[in-house]
Amino acid sequence: MSYIEEILDLVKRRNPAEYEFHQAVDEVLQSLEPVMEKHPEYREARILERLVEPERVLMFRVPWLSDKGDFEVNRGFRIQFNSAIGPYKGGLRFHPTVNLGIMKFLAFEQIFKNSLTTLAMGGGKGGSDFDPKGKSNNEVMRFCQSFMTELCRHIGPDTDVPAGDIGVGAREIGFMYGQYKRIMNEFTGVLTGKALRWGGSLIRPEATGYGCVYLAQEMLKTRKETFEGKVCVVSGSGNVAQYTVKKLLELGAKPVTLSDSNGFVYDSKGIDLKKLEFAMELKNIRRGRIKEYADKFGAEYHDGKRPWSIPCKAAFPSATQNEIDEKDAETLVKNGCTVVGEGANMPTTPEGIDVFLKANILYGPGKAANAGGVATSGLEMSQNAMRLSWPAEEVDKRLKQIMVSIHDAAAKAAADYGFPGNYVMGANIAGFVKVAEAMMDQGHV
Ligand code: NDP
């Protein structure tokens, strides 16, 4: 058994049934073989053994009262995985599928993603198995207040700064921030994704989707191509999907799909700005189903399906983990897809990733492709610390610079280690080395 296999075995034995966590660790560690060969000092200092063990795992009860007066109980999490290069930073996810393994996979990914942004942020993630869907505003507020009543003692602007993720948008961040302020009696940048009126950053809502397209644009440049006229398939219809579509339209591409957990819409005429506005109002305000888009604009609706069978040049999975399997990846490649930008975290299964890499398409893994969200959260933290706000152009310029530097760092690391064009190897290696060096500097902690 190789050293890397030994560590993977240890992770599986120590964390049984945490399948998504195993998958995330496996993907990163498989990339690190050449790094460990080049740096025997990392093995001596047991960097990998320490890296796969979270610094702290918080799991707590979240009791709340429904509108009917029933007692409800959910489970809350915060994983403070690695603080070698900065305070823990990562989103909160509210979704019924949330469990310890999913939280740990997301927090583990976040370590390398945050490292790639060039900003000083460690890796963390949290959330709850609470489902905001179908709940009233008051129920969501009571849940958020109860969640923060416990979480507030573990976080802080220099300790751990949560943000949004699936099921946690501006509304939830507002309710949680209000409760933090009330209990701690301080107005600080303890959460990002705040509303503009009280400490948020311009471009933060747009950042993940825009950043993902910027990274894909950089990948395309290496083949002297642009987005002009390219048909794009996008999954999801939440924050990331919406702003991916918006940026694609700006660059002259033709996005044709959106989806939610019930199915997907295929608009062969293309989703234009007006139709996107309808989808945003539908999802962000009325909190309805994407099927309504098909009914309104006469587009196709495919119940219970994902959009990967639609022929396209570029695909942007922007909903959830493991939404592209081997067969989907084969279909995409067969139909002429040459670019994949992962807005979502770990949306492609390991078998699917193999298909993309073997086909030598431009495959931008989530760690690199969706890092624009957390990078702009980092910019929100800087603005909060300085108590000022930058104009949208300034934030967007910085976001773009960061995405270009992520692309270049991943491309360079891949080439340096003998895997040119492999952004999976590149992103994992570049993200890891910075964290490993910081851990070496800080002694055996
Ligand atoms: P939202 O909650 O705004 O939207 C999520 C979208 O994905 C919705 O359309 C939702 O459908 C759909 N979806 C969620 N779970 C599933 C599922 N199990 N099967 C099918 N569809 C599903 O979340 P975001 O847009 O913020 O996040 C999307 C992805 O991007 C996640 O993987 C997240 O971790 C990642 N990400 C987000 C960042 C951010 O800044 N927001 C930053 C980096 C990564 P429905 O409406 O039916 O719930």
DSSP 281-345: IIIIIS---THHHHHHHT-EEEET--GGGS--SEEE--S-TT-B-HHHHHHHHHTT--EEE--SS
- pTM of this prediction? 0.97
Place of tokens 């539908």: 282
Instruction: Please write the tens of the pLDDT for every residue from 374-408.
Output: 999 999 999 999 999 999 999 999 999 999 999 99
Of 180, 188, 170, give the one whose Cα is nearest residue 148: 180
Place of tokens 């999913």: 102
Residue-level pLDDT at 82: 98
Residue-level pLDDT at 193: 98
- Give the pLDDT band of residue 333 (cuts 50, 70, 90): very high
CA 345 to ligand 1: nearest atom: 32
Residue closest by Cα to atom 3 of ligand 1: 238
Residue-level pLDDT at 311: 98
Active-site residues: which are they?
Answer: 125
Choosing from 240, 258, 262 the residue with most ligand 1 atoms within 8 A of its CB, the one to mutate for a pocket test is: 240
Residue 332, CA distances (Å) to 168, 271, 342, 367, 374 in order: 30, 20, 14, 21, 28
Percent of the chain with pLDDT strictly greater than 70: 100
What is the Cα–Cα distance from 119 to 117, expressed in whole angstroms? 5
CA 193 to ligand 1: nearest atom: 40
Stretch 339-351: mean pLDDT, rounded?
A: 98
Residue-level pLDDT at 336: 98
CATH fold of 207-369, please?
Rossmann fold (3.40.50)
Cα(261) to centroid(ligand 1), Å:
9
**Distant-in-sequence, close-in-space partners of 250: CB < 8 Å, separation ≥ 6:** none
Residue-level pLDDT at 102: 98
CA 168 to ligand 1: nearest atom: 2
Stretch 121-145: mean pLDDT, rounded?
A: 98
- Give the pLDDT band of residue 95 (cuts 50, 70, 90): very high
Residue-level pLDDT at 119: 97
Residue-level pLDDT at 138: 98
Stretch 321-347: mean pLDDT, rounded?
A: 98
Domain map (residue ranges) of the chain: 54-186, 207-369
Instruction: Please write the tens of the pLDDT for every residue from 249-296.
Output: 999 999 999 999 999 999 999 999 999 999 999 999 999 999 999 999
Tokens of 107: 């927090």
Is the beta carbon of 237 within 6 A of some atom in ligand 1?
yes
Is the beta carbon of 343 within 6 A of some atom in ligand 1?
yes
Choosing from 93, 166, 172, 376 the residue with most ligand 1 atoms within 8 A of its CB, the one to mutate for a pocket test is: 166
- Give the pLDDT band of residue 112 (cuts 50, 70, 90): very high
Does CATH number 3.40.50.300 belong to domain 54-186? no
Residue-level pLDDT at 218: 98
Stretch 106-135: mean pLDDT, rounded?
A: 97
Choosing from 239, 282, 306, 403 the residue with most ligand 1 atoms within 8 A of its CB, the one to mutate for a pocket test is: 239
Residue-level pLDDT at 192: 98
Cα(273) to centroid(ligand 1), Å:
21
Instruction: Please write the tens of the pLDDT for every residue from 27-67.
Output: 999 999 999 999 999 999 999 999 999 999 999 999 999 99
Q: Is the dihedral of CA 350, 356, 360, 366 positive or negative?
A: negative
| Fold match, 54-186 / 207-369 | yes
Instruction: Please write the tens of the pLDDT for every residue from 180-192.
Output: 999 999 999 999 9
Place of tokens 């025997």: 40
Q: What is the SS3 assignment for 416?
A: helix
Percent of the chain with pLDDT strictly greater than 90: 100
Residue closest by Cα to atom 13 of ligand 1: 319
Cα(414) to centroid(ligand 1), Å:
29
